[in-house]
Amino acid sequence: MASYSVDHHLSDREPNIHRAFDNSIDPVLTVEPGEVVRFECRDAVDGQLDLQSTADDVPEVSFDPVHPLTGPVAVEGASPGDVLEVELLDLQHKGWGYTLFMPGEMGLGLLPDEFPDPGIHVWDLEGDVGKFVNGIEVPLDPFPGVIGVAPGEDGAHDTLPPRSVGGNMDVKHLTAGSTLYLPVEAEGGLFSTGDCHAAQGDGEVSVTGIEAEMFVTARFDVREDMDIEQPQFETRGPFTPTGVDEPMYGTTGIDDDLMEATRKAVRHMIEHLHTERGLTRGEAYILCSAIVDLKINEVVDAPNWTVSAYLPESIFPE
């Protein structure tokens, strides 16, 4: 990545925070193509949890403030039909994060019925490493969970679902060094980001990665030569947690429904982590969300599809 200098800073204080994608929100900053912005981003639940939080605190969390996003930033010359190029230059966490699952009645996560009680792990983040239980250490590959531009359709759009203009895509490969392309639907693009994750497995199965306050540094450009319907990107990964090919333990989920195949792969991995690695099922669910990757092996061998879950074995102590 070429060297860069930051042209603009956006702190995580008002008025830089908003909680919906909405093309009527005035930009808090307008930049020229080529300029670099460093965004300070709040965590997904906006400071309701801290270093000392426990499972008892999880039911008290209000979802009204989710997700606090930093922006929006308008980019000069970005018009509907253009593509906004976002070069991710750096991501910097602030030393801690958390992964949680919710009470079943909230219905969030891949396996809400199997985890009716809440759980949380608060991670110490030290450089490139996050600390879990039992001596397990997880490599960190930070990225923004929510990154997108304003929809062309008027109104306030909930930040939870991703859309064709991006948003809560949770693409873990949007690491520093990656370039994201977003279809522009509103004048100026109106870019926002937040909900950063210090690490996440493909799937984000408990509905949280390692949620962390973070800085996101990005350079913007406008591409009139591209025509895309949904976000596209260039990345060098890492495609394994350590960036090198390494031993993985895999569980399969085989079913005639792709979502149920996904659930089975994760259930089997939770069982593996419980019986072979001595984790509680709740710890296993959290570890799956933070580090276990889901891959679609085949979607063509009708009527059954194969989804697999991949656990890097290097995270366990010798």
Restricting to residues 193-212, name those near a copy of itself by CB under 8 A. 202-207
- The three-class DSSP label of residue 63 is coil
**Residues in 47-86 at the binding interface with a copy of itself, rule: CB under 8 A:** none
- Least distance from C-beta 243 to a copy of itself, angstroms? 5
Which of 171, 186, 210, 216 lies at the binding interface for a copy of itself (CB under 8 A)? Answer: 171
CA-nearest of 129, 127, 124, 144 to 38 is 144
If one asks whether residue 160 binds a copy of itself (CB under 8 A), the answer comes out as: yes
Stretch that binds a copy of itself, among 7-15, 45-53, 149-157, 171-179 (CB under 8 A): 171-179
Which of 34, 236, 278, 316 lies at the binding interface for a copy of itself (CB under 8 A)? Answer: 236
Give 33's Cβ-side CA count (13 Å radius): 14
Cα–Cα dist 160/236, whole Å = 27
Q: How many CB atoms lie within 10 A of CB 39?
A: 27
Are 226 and 181 within 8 A, CB to CB? Answer: yes
Q: Which residues have C-beta within 8 Å of that of residue 271, sequence separation ≥ 6?
A: none
Q: Total residues at the site for a copy of itself (CB under 8 A)? A: 71
Query: 14 phi and psi, to 5 degrees?
Result: -60, 145
If one asks whether residue 233 binds a copy of itself (CB under 8 A), the answer comes out as: yes
If one asks whether residue 229 binds a copy of itself (CB under 8 A), the answer comes out as: yes
Q: Which residues have C-beta within 8 Å of that of residue 153, sequence separation ≥ 6?
A: 185
Query: Which CB sits closer to a copy of itself, 26 or 227?
Result: 227
If one asks whether residue 274 binds a copy of itself (CB under 8 A), the answer comes out as: no
Query: Which CB sits closer to a copy of itself, 4 or 249?
Result: 249
Q: How many CB atoms lie within 10 A of CB 137?
A: 15
Which of 38, 93, 163, 219 lies at the binding interface for a copy of itself (CB under 8 A)? Answer: 163
Are 147 and 69 within 8 A, CB to CB? Answer: no
Cα–Cα dist 171/80, whole Å = 24
Cα–Cα dist 11/181, whole Å = 24
- Least distance from C-beta 234 to a copy of itself, angstroms? 6
Which of 113, 127, 300, 317 lies at the binding interface for a copy of itself (CB under 8 A)? Answer: 300
Q: What angle do CA 190, 193, 197 make, to 5 degrees?
A: 165
Place of tokens 């679609």: 296
Stretch that binds a copy of itself, among 11-19, 58-66, 91-99, 254-262 (CB under 8 A): 254-262
Q: How many CB atoms lie within 10 A of CB 51?
A: 11
- Least distance from C-beta 301 to a copy of itself, angstroms? 5
Type of residue numbered 141: D
Query: Which CB sits closer to a copy of itself, 74 or 138?
Result: 138
CA 22 to chain centre: 20
Binding mask 83-122 for a copy of itself (x = CB under 8 A): ------------------------xxxx------------
Query: Which CB sits closer to a copy of itself, 10 or 292?
Result: 292
Which of 20, 55, 136, 254 lies at the binding interface for a copy of itself (CB under 8 A)? Answer: 254
Stretch that binds a copy of itself, among 34-42, 71-79, 120-128, 229-237 (CB under 8 A): 229-237
If one asks whether residue 259 binds a copy of itself (CB under 8 A), the answer comes out as: yes
Handedness of CA 27, 73, 215, 134 (dihedral sign): positive
Which of 33, 103, 152, 250 lies at the binding interface for a copy of itself (CB under 8 A)? Answer: 250
Query: Which CB sits closer to a copy of itself, 31 or 311?
Result: 311
